[in-house]
Structure 1
């Protein structure tokens, strides 16, 4: 049986093993010290690189280090501090509203359950998964960002394009303790080798397991599903 004849679950487990070997020290790329700082940084990372977020957050967290400070900050000041991350007005508004709810309903502490996190403004499953995994060590799901969605599709592990449906497919294929480190390592691989416009299939250590290797960059069709909350 050749690698491409393996079942999706068998291929997923072999891909996971290789990713662990390729990126043994992979970790969350966002800089933070507390759960609320991780929450804020993850909200800022939407449609923005982690590198840019890490340039912005030191000044932001120096002035407003916790949920109480962010909730009480002038909105215009927050907007200017996060301006370079894009969509800054919406991000600043959501960050402040989320921190206000954390202060008033969760005693200033970021909640550690998916159900409660999803009640915060600007927080969907992607952000919740990141916070739960890296702030609390809880693997509640698989973080699906643009890299994870794109590579999972190319690797033939899902035919879905909606992030929640992609996540469900991956949760069936991977052991729960590896849900988050799968995402982190796949993101590293997407940046290093499997780029969006020009994947380096000739140098890819996953090529023999990939249903799209050697083909033009596989592009999933645009999802018609409603955007998940």
Structure 2
């Protein structure tokens, strides 16, 4: 309190002085009565604009001192480069220096790379400890293969590996395969095939890299707007096309890691693209069908939680010669027989041979409940109700998952149909 009272009672005086720049302006200066020096002003009471000006002046003074150390005091004949402060720069230049960096959405739309791009992780190729081969897996595999020969599926005529046959140039074949795989995510084969045809017509009849680079985004979006996540896939297609041109010599790359560096491309697409585009076999393409069916067959102990775990397990014990065909085989099997919901176990030979641990059968009840309605003055109406029930063909062993647990592996029926 004493210090505050002393400060408040301290006497200052105001001295007027005529401005040297303008005679009509009078300047006032506060001086201490003790020694005539100006009273110090607390830093906190100085406005923010004045404090920033002081800091800028201090920085500029330090720059001048540094230049004098490098270039001397001017007697050497070497002059430092001209400086332009922010206050002296033209208004247009000050705006350009203050311009913000593009946002993430703007970078996606324009294809501008990030200032600090994330490093892509290498795709894991093998397990440290191989998964043991399931019992009677070959018998199960051959049974599925025999059924697939009798039951055609949409993947046989509209799968991603069929897109290349509508192109003639080898590069266009590989590019069409890649685009088809990018569109197939969360989309059925029938919808993917139709969207690919519309995109090919919109680009002039040929699905090639140059046509995609020149096309406007709205043109691509209108052609593929029936597939899942079509807005995001439109951006991915444009960005992937630019990256193929700038990094991969306008062609589809030949390694899994390079393919996964493309926007919208994951491990499943990468392995399938190498199979169909380059005839390179380095792994298994696992989608929701392969993930669901192999877990229903209990080929994984414990059950796998995602397609990547399924892929690593399968690759550790399944012979390499089956890696290319297993995706096509099980996708078709999952489309027509081993459905995500209400699988057709009544036509599956694995149920008859009792080698499927998740087999079910539909037993139609003979008794029918009927009710007759005869509204007054109207026709007679009969309603028949046929009861059905689902049973598990095989007994559950101790510690084995129940049928409900196996059914929990079933994905959404509108999920990926690649």
Q: TM-score range by the shorter chain?
A: 0.7 to 0.9
More helix by share: 1
Deviant stretches of 4+, over 3 Å: 7-10, 24-28
More strand by share: 2
Number of the residue aligned with 2:136: 11
**Structure 1 unaligned regions, length at least 5:** 1-6, 223-229
* Structure 2 residue corresponding to 1:164, chosen from 295, 300, 308: 308
Asked which structure has the greater RCO (Cα within 8 Å, sep 6+), the reply is: 1
Number of the residue aligned with 2:339: 195
How far is the alpha carbon of 1:202 from its aligned partner?
2.7
* Structure 2 residue corresponding to 1:129, chosen from 271, 282, 286: 271
Cα distance per residue 1:165-207 (max 9 Å; x no partner): 0111111231112112111111111111111110122321223
RMSD: 2.1
Between 193-202 and 28-37, the greater mean CA deviation after superposition:
28-37
**Preserved contact between residue 133 and residue 318 of structure 2 (Cα < 8 Å):** no
**Preserved contact between residue 202 and residue 219 of structure 2 (Cα < 8 Å):** no
**Preserved contact between residue 161 and residue 221 of structure 1 (Cα < 8 Å):** no
**Preserved contact between residue 289 and residue 330 of structure 2 (Cα < 8 Å):** yes
Number of the residue aligned with 1:209: 355
Number of the residue aligned with 2:191: 52
Cα distance per residue 1:19-72 (max 9 Å; x no partner): 333334885723412111111111111111111111111221234321222123
**Preserved contact between residue 117 and residue 128 of structure 1 (Cα < 8 Å):** yes
Number of the residue aligned with 1:155: 297
**Preserved contact between residue 150 and residue 219 of structure 1 (Cα < 8 Å):** no
* Structure 2 residue corresponding to 1:41, chosen from 180, 194, 217: 180
Between 203-212 and 78-87, the greater mean CA deviation after superposition:
203-212
Residue-pair matches, total: 216
Number of the residue aligned with 1:227: none
Number of the residue aligned with 1:32: 163
**CA–CA separation in structure 2 for the residues paired with 1:137 and 1:19:** 24
* Structure 2 residue corresponding to 1:178, chosen from 304, 318, 322: 322
**CA–CA separation in structure 2 for the residues paired with 1:153 and 1:118:** 26
**CA–CA separation in structure 2 for the residues paired with 1:139 and 1:69:** 30
Between 18-27 and 147-156, the greater mean CA deviation after superposition:
18-27
* Structure 2 residue corresponding to 1:72, chosen from 214, 230, 234: 214
Give yes or no for the alignment of 1:100 onto 2:242.
Answer: yes
**Structure 2 unaligned regions, length at least 5:** 1-131, 165-172, 361-391, 393-402, 412-418
Relative distance call for 1:213 and 1:8 in structure 2 (3 A) is farther
**CA–CA separation in structure 1 for the residues paired with 2:409 and 2:192:** 27
Number of the residue aligned with 2:42: none
**CA–CA separation in structure 2 for the residues paired with 1:14 and 1:136:** 30
Cα distance per residue 1:113-170 (max 9 Å; x no partner): 1121111110001111111111111222211111111111101012102111011111
TM-score using structure 2 length? 0.49
**CA–CA separation in structure 1 for the residues paired with 2:136 and 2:408:** 20
Between 107-116 and 11-20, the greater mean CA deviation after superposition:
11-20
How far is the alpha carbon of 1:221 from its aligned partner?
8.6
How far is the alpha carbon of 1:8 from its aligned partner?
4.2
Equivalent residue of 2:407, what SS? Answer: coil
